[in-house]
Structure 1
């Protein structure tokens, strides 16, 4: 396992944050508040030099889509203000962002879902070492479909592919066409696979937080239970298995990366190669450590779960203020970080009365083994 140099600025941020938070023991099972911010945090990415990059959760339609943490309570636009400013005549901006992840070269890959200003969904790579645009990959129809909401990503350097989870609950979507999008790093060619597969679509299971089933207006105008398709996605450090799951569902699935990246496999054959890996609760984000332990953000119970080599789910840690734990990722500092986006506290789920409130929290905790930033 290679050692990654820590960024001194971010180290000082961590020290300052620890001074104002409950101290965690240097072992798993405990979490501490790392940052307290004025807007909801969606997903988190760490660069190899330990810069913390995060999305402001698009559920709240933030003006600043993506940011870089500058202190435990402050941030700045990432990569800059211009890229966070939608404008006519170009698509060289970030429109609607949840998922992002850094690779080992310091390129932060940002998924722009595109439906806020109706531009073509794209994957934007920003090189943090050179401070310039690395590349844009586009996801036009039929790679994306009506209701597409591509929002989590795995970077597979071994097979030269990106794997993106599309939960299919964007405008006009109901999760029934959830899928995985595969992008070839070299050619830019993109494919939509496992569309509507048993492993990607939501199960008919309500998301229940504090005794409240989350509902949204259905096509008939009546309230119906929200069902979310393929959401979390991660991959082991050997790039052998890709793990993924619908948020709404009790099953975690996996497929070999070699199969997922194989363009010769038809939809039926690919589906046959998907394996149900374990039980799970309704969960959002996924991450993994070098020992193969999988970490899940359990959105209903304000907790982080873990699935080990025995394939059995257990609660790893919880906190009463970890409302809707969302993005989860490893850092070069040996911790894992998780956002608490408070989505379930929004007004639309509480008869128009908002229960979400500042500050919005980023937690960190010690995993059972070190993790990998691009997973």
Structure 2
């Protein structure tokens, strides 16, 4: 995700996607448009689709349906959430939910429209949830806009909307990504905004609580400088990359939560039982509760600056997007202290962003090209083309730590 910047309004452009011929949307490995990876890597990329705007989130449902989202960062996108279907981008769940516009923000309600969607994630029960931080161009939150919305894939209609008030999503926040417990009762979110935090949501009651707000584990690491092509990645005014807690992952058994900042190198974890009851009971003042939680945090290891995290349901390994070097890394969580291994390194992975996993274990990854955006290159087009890729991980013993 990009740094904070004033909202820049441009004439809306038509959002389109080019579905690569032969790509299989059922979740099976696609066979068209593949190319051998560069030497010393362990995977083959397949281009699934190309878009005219910056994409971030991707998810794949149990039956192989692919969904993507386009945050309203530097352009007033016509479509915020879409399904990749029959070679086209189809507004999801319908055109009405995608009809909010910056220029008409006072005419369209923010609570039942997509404002600035950052993430789409399929839940264990087979539905899709949409996380809307409602902060266009990483600026001020639109009142009534921050929310988590469940879409029932049987009806393709919203089933639940959980709105977040200022205690959960205060001004300056940017809710980033979400994971769901296997029993479908709890959601865990990261906030990568000005003051990083985690958010725990009880899905039955809709109650949410902000935790580890300002804790070092959720903040940018001052000792880390995010680079690209060997140089610090900076905006025209000299400021570097400053992103708080961003990537998040949950172990398949739901017992361990992982997260890290993009401007960071350390992967942290916390047993989810430490969060049990914290949302609905809230008996302890926040400061004391966070101090207690902080004592349960473990340092897993160093990933280097990373954006997206996912733990595969098929092999139990953690996959990591590494924007600095156009790569995807893998970590064996069963071996304590094990280093990461580079699985794929490819120049086409310009800011690999978010993962989704298909039913057969195929991994999908978006490339949001943040280093090429107007935040870092003032002459960049507002509608920046991006891509969706897929790859099938090799067997676990194929990765060797470096």
* TM-score category (smaller protein): 0.7 to 0.9
Task: Give secondary structure in 1 for the equivalent of 2:273.
Answer: helix
Alignment partner for residue 43 of structure 1, among 57, 81, 85? 57
Which residue does the alignment assign to 1:103? Answer: 123
Aligned-residue RMSD, C-alpha: 2.6
1:279 aligns with 2:302: yes
Distance 1:287 1:252 in 2: 12
Q: CA distance change for structure 1 residues 238 and 13 in 2, over 3 Å: closer, same or farther?
A: closer
Alignment partner for residue 146 of structure 1, among 144, 164, 171? 171
How many Å apart are 1:166 and its aligned residue? Answer: 0.4
Distance 2:25 2:341 in 1: 34
How many Å apart are 1:157 and its aligned residue? Answer: 3.7
In the superposition, the TM-score normalised over structure 1's length comes to 0.85
Alignment partner for residue 19 of structure 1, among 32, 35, 38? 32
Aligned pairs for 1:122-271 within 5 A: 122-158=147-183, 160-168=185-193, 173=194, 177-204=195-222, 205-216=224-235, 222-263=237-278, 266-271=289-294
Which residue does the alignment assign to 1:339? Answer: 366
Contact 1:28/1:366, CA 8 A, preserved across alignment: no
Which residue does the alignment assign to 1:84? Answer: 98
Which residue does the alignment assign to 2:389? Answer: 363
Contact 1:23/1:32, CA 8 A, preserved across alignment: no
Distance 1:99 1:236 in 2: 19
Contact 1:345/1:355, CA 8 A, preserved across alignment: no
Distance 2:58 2:169 in 1: 23
How many Å apart are 1:158 and its aligned residue? Answer: 3.1
Distance 1:283 1:332 in 2: 25
Distance 1:278 1:269 in 2: 22
Distance 2:168 2:129 in 1: 18
Q: CA distance change for structure 1 residues 269 and 241 in 2, over 3 Å: closer, same or farther?
A: same
Distance 1:258 1:16 in 2: 36
Alignment partner for residue 305 of structure 1, among 302, 305, 329? 329
Which residue does the alignment assign to 2:12? Answer: none
Which residue does the alignment assign to 2:80? Answer: 65
Alignment partner for residue 351 of structure 2, among 324, 348, 362? 324
Distance 1:58 1:313 in 2: 33
Distance 1:194 1:314 in 2: 29
Distance 1:132 1:212 in 2: 46
| Aligned residues between the structures | 347
How many Å apart are 1:12 and its aligned residue? Answer: 6.0
Distance 1:339 1:81 in 2: 23
Which residue does the alignment assign to 1:6? Answer: none
Contact 1:59/1:343, CA 8 A, preserved across alignment: no
How many Å apart are 1:209 and its aligned residue? Answer: 1.2
In the superposition, the TM-score normalised over structure 2's length comes to 0.80
Contact 2:330/2:340, CA 8 A, preserved across alignment: yes
Alignment partner for residue 118 of structure 1, among 133, 136, 142? 142
Bigger strand share: 1
